[in-house]
Structure 1
Amino acid sequence: MQENLNKVSIMSLLVTLGIVFGDIGTSPLYVFTAITQGNTFDEVLVLGSLSCIFWTLLIIATFKYIYLALNADNHGEGGIFALYALLRRTKSKWIIYPALIGCATLISDGFITPAISISSAVEGLSLIYPDISTLPIVVAIVIGLFLIQQFGTKKIGGFFGPVMLIWFLTLGTLGALQLIKNPEVLKAINPVYAFSFLYNYPKAIWVLGAVFLCSTGAEALYSDLGHCGKKNIRIAWTFVLSMLLLNYFGQAAFCLSMQGKGSVDSVFYATVPDGFLYYVIGIATLSTIIASQALITGIFTLVNEAIKLKLWTNLKVKYPSTHKGQIYIPAINYFLLFGCLLVIFIFKKASNMEAAYGLAITIDMIMTSILLGFLLRIRKRKLKRIYAFFVIVFFSIEFTFLISNLNKIPHGGWFTLLLASFFFLLLLFYNKAKRLRSKFAEYQQMVDIKPMLISIQDDIQIPFYATNIVYPTRSSNANLIDRTIVHSLFYMQPKKAKVYWFLHLNITDMPHEIAYEIETLIPKRAFFVTLNLGFKEPHLIDYFIKKIYQDLIDSGEIIPESAFKSLIDYKIPTDFKYVLINSRAASENELSLIDIFTIKLYRILKSSGLTIISDFGLESANIVEEKIPINVSKINNDLLIKRI
């Protein structure tokens, strides 16, 4: 699979253009407009901010993401959770926090990016029709975009690459036309202009918040690694970077020519020749839709990885096409649609949305730098000082951008900060509840259970509950079993079976893996199965168990015979019954207020998510659900009851 991803061809490069570079490729629509908004065009501002854009794209987008981050892949997959999965093996507990913050900020960005990108493109119509209201058009496009997600992007996916190729060529051409008129802006390549701007320009630190917008989408260069492969991304980036720089230098050249002539509503559209305005608005709108599509797909992937890594509750995940990486999560889709419409109706115009944009992504980039730095320190011990220097440089630049974006908080940045904080707290409390449950989960030695299982199987007075009984277990050790399972087996209705299966589902750090390990507890009678699934694999548990069952028949470890003799002659397949235990804290437990709140929130989140039946792919299987209380505090055994 990875070999195919790294195969470079014209088609693979086109696909990469369509998937990876939409967000960063549509930034020229609003970056210089945001920089010059409320400021007069002067040489210090224009050349200084241009120099900052140039070096930001080189240091952050190119060196950090294209060179360093793409090498930090988890079996071909990238993104904040790929980094977390790699570092989770170090047993360092703190790494969960940057990963959760990164996830929260990316989801909050999913509210803003489609709204600002599509609004920026469509608002170009006001140059042709000054009285037109673009808000209904933007709303219609956004609703249409989210409604088609359920059908998948396979049919229109091949359209993305050529459109983005035309878009980048358009960017380069528009920039070159302006650059020819005023080539002196090329001197902004000298970093002295950036430092001079930061030191001498009165509002430079706040203008940096607008400069940062040129790098939004850089995270996608890493997170979409699994879709395209590093070779395709790196080769395509040389073309994309060239076109972006041409356009930014062209816009800067236009701004210099406008000194003393007043301001414009959109610097980007002001550089477009009159006869080409319809064409540019059209291709810009298509490009922003593609950029938004890529972001939506990226968030689906992010949430799916969080689910598989057990960092979030189970949600329904659909696969609209035969392509494994193309997923659709209905709950997240409509949640993002609601969020985008909320942003559009609150801020109304792209210029207002710019204040809400950038802050969350800055935080996400800092989280990636923290995790990336820790990974490089572990992997590159001989060069750790060199890598430490670069990570400090990244962190310093991104932290400066963060400070510059703080100015946006009163004007709209509060919205994304509030969103990101809300998502982070949900993720944090969910994981705290998971740890709390694990802390108080009780296990019993399997060696004590085996004689009891044999006794039940040999007791002719106990009727068969099923031929095969499957118990999902939290225990990863075949020598231990959950007390709740023991309670279900012996203390409720005794459950007699020919074969007992204790199934532990292990989500591995590899994205694509399907394997199992099996330990025989009682020959031909009881088995402990560890099913290893990659964090991107579907949970088809009933299918996998039956495949394992057939493997054991083929190896002679199981006798394929039904417990119900009347069915044997009719060659009816052996039956399986899954016993699913929902454990809840018992009413007599004494918990702190924060723990009570955590558990209640956990229950709400779990109830709003996918049931264990759907999660395990057991909709058509024979299942029984049982509720069994667990004790998370000691019961006072000295309590007396008086007979009266």
Structure 2
Amino acid sequence: MADEITGGAARADDEGVHDHGHAGQKATVKLVVGAIGIVFGDIGTSPLYAFRETFAGHHHLELDPDHILGVISLMFWSMMLVVTLKYVTVIMRADNKGEGGSLALLALINGQTKTQRWSRGIVLLGVFATSLFYGDSMITPAVSVLSAVEGLAVYNSSLAPLILPAAVLILLGLFWIQGLGTNRVASLFGPIMLFYFLTIAVLGIISIVKTPGILHAFNPYWAVMFFVTDPLPAFLALGAVVLAVTGAEALYADMGHFGRSPIRVSWLAFVLPALMMNYMGQGALLFREGAAALHSPFYYLAPQWAQLPLVGLATLAAIIASQAVISGAFSVTQQAIQLGFMPRLRIAHTSASTAGQIYIPLINWGLMVMVILLVLVFQTSSNLTAAYGIAVTGAMFIDNVLLTVLLYRLWKWRWYYSAPLLSVLFLVDGAYLAANFTKVPDGGWFPLLIGFVIFTLLTTWSRGRRLVQDRLREAAMPIPVFVASAANSAVRVPGTAVFMTSTPDGVPHALLHNLKHNKVLHERVILLTVKIKDVPVVEDDGRCKLEDLGRGFFRLVLQYGFMQEPDVPAALKNVTGCGQAFRMMDTSFFLARQTLLPSAKPGMPLWREKIFAWMLRNAESAMEFFRLPTNRVVELGSQVEI
């Protein structure tokens, strides 16, 4: 998901790098460091606020040794079950041609289960998980940057008035640089996060040495006893404990960029130990200092002289975590466009050499406005954490449903293997989701509202697009009839005409309108359809499917993966079997622009028709989306009832 900020890192295969010798080792180390910098930014900044919120958040928990041990034990075993078992061990095996993430998993499942009656429900669940991601991508930058900058008040209370202005300025700068590309600074992400994790681990170890009894928290006994002795406070504490595993889905989403092995090695050998040392160090600090250190146990781990440099380091880590989420939003949006859940949007390329480095202005500025509003309205990271978590746990729970289909339908696991695993995962994620619903009145409503709004937009576009295609297909004239009647009656003029059509059968409306008004046909007529497959990448040798319809007419289908961007002129250069090679100066592209009309039998409610019409009007033109030469395009209007 983070091609935009990996600087075009080598795309690893399923098991990492296969090179032998020093070159292979260097490549593996580079991927491990890259994964630490990109993949673990979100979960890496959780120590800034997660442990504090279990005691000082909206559901106050009594500060005593049993509760401290219980909370840290819950955090450790949550990381083991949710991150290590669910994502690192199981779900990362479910790659779609090397790619991961909710949409990649959905495309993989949908490609195998399209004929099933329940497949539409699975698609809707996957789309809703994607919608929740946008809510999460708004809260993550706000809470990460704000919690990091709040360290200024820990260092010197007189600096407290600077926290909000500093956070807003950092976020404004972060979103402003997106359009410039992040290739140059991306190379620094890995080393900075490496140093960050080392620093928080060392601070934690120093505190643990002073109070080694905190190590008892590795024993699950303390997590169990927490629920046995205080079931309601333990349940409510889950709403804050889950903050320790936010960002776990990034391991799966970024698998295509680093490979399984580098991410697994990074997590098990470095990130997990560093996080646990810090959480235990914070717990040991509270053992010694009690409520005096509860305001910010993360920063109080450091001596006063080191607190200001730690604020700077934590702020850099928060910026990197935010950058990964913003880039992830660009990538998810691109996938949603390609899979037909979003209208075409303007996508700018910030690198001439790396196709994955993209920038989507509408998404960038929309996120910026919402993130700044969140900071100004909620004002503190503690208030923001009330809104944080429900989107993550909702997406994690939906991942369990998709995993269930995967295990039973695609991998054909026997029930006595899959049932115990799924029971544990549903129990854990269900408990976290239920605990986070208690935070809805305090701010949890925000990501749910964003999720439902975006879900409505995505499903409306998908439904409206399908209705338009159905209406066009119903009114389309059969190709053999058209070729036989028009080829002899119309004047043929030199050159090539390419008629873009979304349906690979019937005569495009643009062709009918052109013949009706101009009364000519070009010597070579190409009926072109661009199809997006349920796989991330379609290789060049499988790109083109050409059919000779006779009398100078050809049906051409160009196929792309949902991680690729269509480039029609580039693809046409490689097409053979339909006469001379394509020359752009002799080729005209004809596009149809639909105008929607109310239907006597509407396919969806009027309010959704209006939303779809608005999205259609504001969609990026096909000319720019397919990279057609601007001086060779003709647009012809048509009216469609849906």
User: Is the shorter-chain TM-score for this pair beyond 0.5, marking a shared fold?
Assistant: yes
Give the superposition deviation at 1:31.
Answer: 0.8
Q: Partner amino acid for 1:287?
A: A
Post-superposition Cα deviations, 1:283-305, rounded to whole Å, max 9, x if no partner, equal 11111111111111111111111
SS of match in other structure, 2:405: helix
Identity %, equivalent residues = 32
Q: Cα distance, 1:101 vs. partner?
A: 0.9
Q: Which has the larger radius of gyration?
A: 1
How many Å apart are 1:573 and its aligned residue? Answer: 6.9
Comparing 591-600 with 262-271, which one deviates more in the overlay? Answer: 591-600
d(CA) in 2 for partners of 1:125, 1:532: 53
Per-residue deviation at 1:595?
3.0
2:193 alignment partner, one of 149, 164, 169: 164
Relative to structure 1, the CA distance from residue 453 to residue 391 in structure 2 (aligned partners, 3 Å threshold; closer, same or farther) is farther
- Residues 508 and 527 in structure 2, CA contact (< 8 A), matched pair in contact too: no
What is the Cα deviation at residue 211 of structure 1? 0.2
Aligned equivalent of 1:315: 345
Q: Is the 8 A contact 1:468 1:575 kept in 2?
A: yes
Q: Which stretches in structure 1 are left out of the alignment for 5+ residues? A: 562-571, 633-644
Task: Name the structure 1 match of 2:421.
Answer: 390
Q: Does residue 41 of the first structure (1) align with residue 63 of the second (2)?
A: yes
Cα RMSD of the aligned pairs, angstroms, is 2.1
| Corresponding residue of 1:349 | 380
User: Offset at 1:392?
Assistant: 2.7
8 Å contact kept, 2:500–2:508:
no
Asked if 2 retains the 8 angstrom alpha-carbon contact of 1:355 and 1:411, the reply is: yes
2:610 counterpart of 1:600: yes
Distance 1:389 1:492, change over 3 A: farther
Q: Would you say 1:500 and 2:556 are equivalent positions?
A: no
Q: Is the 8 A contact 1:542 1:621 kept in 2?
A: no
CA distance in 2, matches of 1:292, 1:358: 16
Given residue 180 of structure 1, which amino acid in structure 2 is its aligned partner? V
Question: Aligned equivalents of 1:324 and 1:268: distance in 2?
Answer: 39
Out of 197, 200, 213, the residue aligned to residue 243 of structure 2 is 213
TM-score of the aligned structures, taking structure 2 as reference length: 0.90
Deviations 1:487-529 (A, max 9, x none): 3254443331101101111111222224111111116x11111
Contact residue 227 and residue 325 of structure 1 kept, 8 A? no
SS at match of 2:343: coil
For the 8 Å contact 2:214–2:283, the answer to whether it is kept is yes
Provide the residue aligned with 1:251 in structure 2. Answer: 282
Give the whole-Å Cα distance in 1 for the aligned partners of 2:385 and 2:581: 66
CA drift at 1:575: 1.2
Provide the secondary structure at the position in 2 that maps to 1:6.
coil
Secondary structure of the 2:614 match is: helix
Aligned counterpart, 1:626: 636
Paired with 1:353 and 1:224, the residues of 2 have a C-alpha distance of 26
Distance 1:603 1:362 in 2: 33
- Tell me, yes or no, if the aligned pair for 2:147 and 2:381 is still in contact at 8 Å: yes
Query: Contact between 1:560 and 1:574, CA under 8 Å: does it hold in 2?
Result: no
The correspondence of residues 218-257 of structure 1 with structure 2, limited to 5 A, is: 218-238=248-268, 239-257=270-288
What is the match of residue 580 of structure 1? 591
CA contact (8 A) 1:112 1:353 kept: yes
- Superposed, 1:25-174 pairs within 5 Å as 25-37=44-56, 38-89=60-111, 90-91=113-114, 92-132=119-159, 133=161, 134-174=163-203
Which residue does the alignment assign to 1:20? 39
How far 1:63 sits from its partner (Å)? Answer: 0.9
Query: Residue 12 of structure 2 contacts residue 258 of structure 2 at CA under 8 Å; is this kept in 1?
Result: no
- 8 Å Cα contact 2:501-2:508 kept in structure 1: no
State the partner residue of 1:567. none
Distance 1:5-1:469 versus aligned 2 partners, 3 A rule: farther
Structure 2 alignment gaps of length 5 or more: 1-10, 18-26
Comparing 203-212 with 507-516, which one deviates more in the overlay? Answer: 507-516
Contact 2:285 2:301 in 1 (8 A): yes
1:314-356 Cα distance to aligned partner (Å, 9 max, x none): 1111221222222111111111111110100000111111111
Residue in 2 that maps onto 1:425:
456
Residues 131-156 of structure 1, C-alpha deviations (whole Å, 9 max, x = no match)? 22110000110000111111111111
Does the CA-based 8 Å contact 2:338-2:532 persist in structure 1? yes
Return the letter of the residue paired with 2:257: H
> For residues 59-104 of structure 1, what are the alpha-carbon distances to aligned partners after superposition, in whole Å with 9 as ceiling and x for unaligned?
1011111111211111111101100110121202222211211111
Alignment match, 1:565? none
CA distance in 1, matches of 2:292, 2:84: 35
SS of residue in 1 equivalent to 2:317: helix
8 Å contact from structure 1 (residues 26, 287) kept in 2:
yes
Do the aligned partners of 2:155 and 2:304 also contact (CA within 8 Å) in 1?
Answer: no
Shift of 1:559: 4.8
Please say if residues 342 and 458 of structure 2, whose CA atoms lie closer than 8 Å, have aligned partners that are also in contact: yes
TM-score (norm 1): 0.90
Task: Indicate the larger mover: 1-10 or 105-114.
Answer: 1-10
CA 1:606–1:631 in 2, change beyond 3 Å: closer, same or farther?
A: closer
Query: 1:171-204: per-residue Cα shift (whole Å, max 9, x none)?
Result: 1111111111222222222222212212322422
Measured after TM superposition, the shift of residue 474 of structure 1 is 2.3
What is the DSSP-based 3-state SS (H/G/I as helix, E as strand, rest coil) of the residue aligned with 2:100? coil
Rounded Cα–Cα distance in structure 2 between residues aligned with 1:119 and 1:518:
55
Give the match's secondary structure for 1:511: coil
Q: Specify the alignment match of 2:22 in structure 1.
A: none
State the Cα deviation string for residues 202-251 of structure 1 (Å, max 9, x = none).
42211110000000000111111122111111111111111111111111
* 1:474–1:482 contact (8 Å) kept in structure 2: no
